């Protein structure tokens, strides 16, 4: 996993050039992390599943290429190139790729539960 902490520096990359697929499972690369957000590129081989889980952070998914299904709070959302999804903190979600699937996952700072 590569990580670039550039809190006070600009950062530019071509997302498609960062994509790497494994024969099975997932490949993830933290592209940028600072005090407010973490931006991670996730690349899933076909038919890869990420089981249902929750996160204490708000998240966004921005699909770069491929196809899959995100199940968010019981609702199936078709993932394909260009789709953008906001996932609220603590919302149950899971994911399954249909083809190779690459997306940028952005996690916000932790949401205060009080």
| Residue extents of the structural domains in the chain | 19-110
Q: Helix, strand, or coil here: 19?
A: coil
Q: Could you tell me the two tokens for 21?
A: 């697929």
**Assigned CATH for 19-110:** 2.60.120.10
Per-residue pLDDT reduced to its tens digit, 15-62 = 999 999 999 999 999 999 988 999 999 999 999 999 999 999 999 999
Kindly report the pTM of this predicted structure.
0.88
CA distances from 54 to 37, 74, 99 (A): 17, 13, 24
Per-residue pLDDT reduced to its tens digit, 60-74 = 999 999 999 999 999
């Amino acid at each position: 996993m590569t990580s670039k902490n550039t809190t006070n520096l600009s950062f530019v990359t071509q997302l498609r050039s960062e994509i790497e697929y494994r024969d099975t499972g997932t490949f993830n690369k933290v592209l940028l992390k600072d005090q407010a957000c973490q931006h991670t590129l996730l690349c899933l081989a076909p038919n890869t599943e990420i089981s249902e889980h929750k996160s204490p952070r708000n998240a966004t998914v921005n699909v770069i290429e491929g196809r899959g299904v995100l199940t968010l709070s019981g609702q199936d959302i078709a993932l394909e190139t260009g789709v953008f999804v906001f996932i609220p903190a603590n919302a149950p979600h899971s994911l399954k790729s249909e083809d190779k699937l690459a997306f940028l996952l952005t996690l916000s700072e932790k949401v205060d539960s009080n």
